[in-house]
């Protein structure tokens, strides 16, 4: 029987996940279907009901996107450490009547940077802008990549400091405000993990953080040169990238978790890439 998977979110109209997983399934010859489900936002418990119904009907797994990642995590019976730290799930697996939660966003981001862009983070100075869900999901995979230093800058500094208190023991993690960055020198990699680009805003990052031979990475994708990437370009950075590779790599991680085999990602990334210029 064809195994059933789906992505659930609201609004779900623009999701690329069915296309991505469809291409993965074709390439690896998996007998599976992958659909998009518009999740119920109201009433409060309707989302959990929709997920349980999908599992009860024989569904094997789901991807979860905004605004349901926290609810998906909260309703799971078990979870990975990554999902626990993020407090959010972007992938679920139904097994033996249980729901297991994972979060592959950070892992997908690290894989895109290290494998696709060819930039190992070991020994590098890395700056991450933001301290919200996207950063919480990325912290453990980033620290596992052994940067020389991982700095998280956020408007609300206390939020960054709370993350340091939680996982600072795992590696060289530091939190600061944007004003402190002036004195911190250049970084090899600067990742914009704020939600500023979604509204066309620019986090107040001083251009001095960029190094010309370094890389600027925008988590948002398909938005061409965002104000953040433009700032990096103007500061002389040659390596600028958006999050299309991360999108495909997190999907590949989920696919491997569900199906026990890793699809190739290059052609899928190429197909979904919207040129920055």
Interacting residue ranges for ligand ATR, rule: CB under 6 A: 130-134, 154-156, 159, 194-196, 201, 203
Residue the block writes with tokens 């010859």: 29
Query: Minimal distance in Å, beta carbon 70 to ligand ATR?
Result: 9
The answer to the question of whether 16 is labelled as a binding residue is yes
Provide the pairing of β-strand 91-95 with 61-64.
Answer: antiparallel
The answer to the question of whether 15 is labelled as a binding residue is yes
Question: Given 60, 69, 124, 159, which residue is catalytic?
Answer: 69
The residue among 15 and 195 lying less far from ligand ATR, judged by its C-beta, is: 195
The residue among 161 and 195 lying less far from ligand ATR, judged by its C-beta, is: 195
The residue among 105 and 249 lying less far from ligand ATR, judged by its C-beta, is: 105
> In the Cβ-directed half-sphere of 55, how many Cα atoms lie within 13 Å?
20
Burial (CB count within 10 angstroms: exposed 0-12, middle 13-18, buried 19+), residue 221: buried
The answer to the question of whether 123 is labelled as a binding residue is no
Answer left, alpha or beta for residue 6, where phi above 0 means left and psi between -120 and 50 means alpha. beta
The residue among 86 and 269 lying less far from ligand ATR, judged by its C-beta, is: 86
Residue 219 CA to residue 244 CA, distance in Å, equals 8
Runs of H (alpha helix) within the chain: 17-28, 46-56, 69-75, 81-86, 105-111, 133-144, 157-167, 227-234, 244-259, 266-272
Catalytic: 69? yes
The answer to the question of whether 71 is labelled as a binding residue is no
Residue number of the CB closest to ligand ATR reads 132
The answer to the question of whether 254 is labelled as a binding residue is no
Query: Minimal distance in Å, beta carbon 95 to ligand ATR?
Result: 27
Active site residues: 69
Annotated binding site for NADP(+): 81, 130-134, 219, 243
Annotated binding site: 15-17, 65, 81, 90, 105, 130-134, 219, 221, 243, 250
């Amino acid at each position: 029987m064809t195994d059933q998977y789906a992505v659930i979110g609201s609004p779900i109209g623009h999701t690329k996940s069915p296309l991505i997983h469809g291409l993965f399934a074709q390439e690896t010859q998996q007998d599976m279907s992958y659909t998009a489900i518009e999740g119920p936002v109201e009433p409060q418990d309707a989302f959990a009901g929709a997920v349980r119904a999908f599992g009860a009907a024989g569904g094997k797994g789901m991807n979860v996107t905004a605004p349901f990642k926290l609810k998906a995590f909260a309703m799971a019976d078990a979870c990975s450490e990554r999902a626990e730290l993020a407090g959010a799930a972007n992938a679920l697996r139904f097994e033996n009547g249980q729901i297991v939660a994972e979060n592959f966003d950070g892992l997908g981001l690290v894989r895109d940077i290290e494998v696709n862009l060819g930039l190992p983070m070991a020994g590098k100075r890395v700056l991450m802008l933001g301290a919200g869900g996207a950063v919480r999901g990325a912290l453990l995979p980033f620290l596992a990549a052994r940067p020389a230093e991982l700095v998280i800058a956020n408007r609300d500094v206390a939020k960054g400091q709370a993350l340091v208190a939680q996982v600072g023991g795992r590696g060289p993690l530091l939190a600061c405000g944007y004003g402190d960055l002036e004195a911190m020198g250049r970084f090899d990699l600067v990742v914009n993990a704020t939600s500023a680009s979604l509204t066309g805003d620019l986090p107040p990052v001083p251009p001095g953080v960029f190094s010309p031979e370094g890389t600027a990475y925008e988590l948002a994708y398909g938005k061409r040169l965002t104000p953040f990437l433009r700032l990096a370009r103007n500061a002389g950075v040659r390596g600028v990238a958006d999050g299309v590779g991360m999108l495909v790599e997190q999907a590949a991680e989920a696919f491997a978790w569900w199906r026990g085999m890793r699809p190739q990602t290059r052609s899928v990334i190429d197909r979904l890439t919207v040129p920055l210029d």
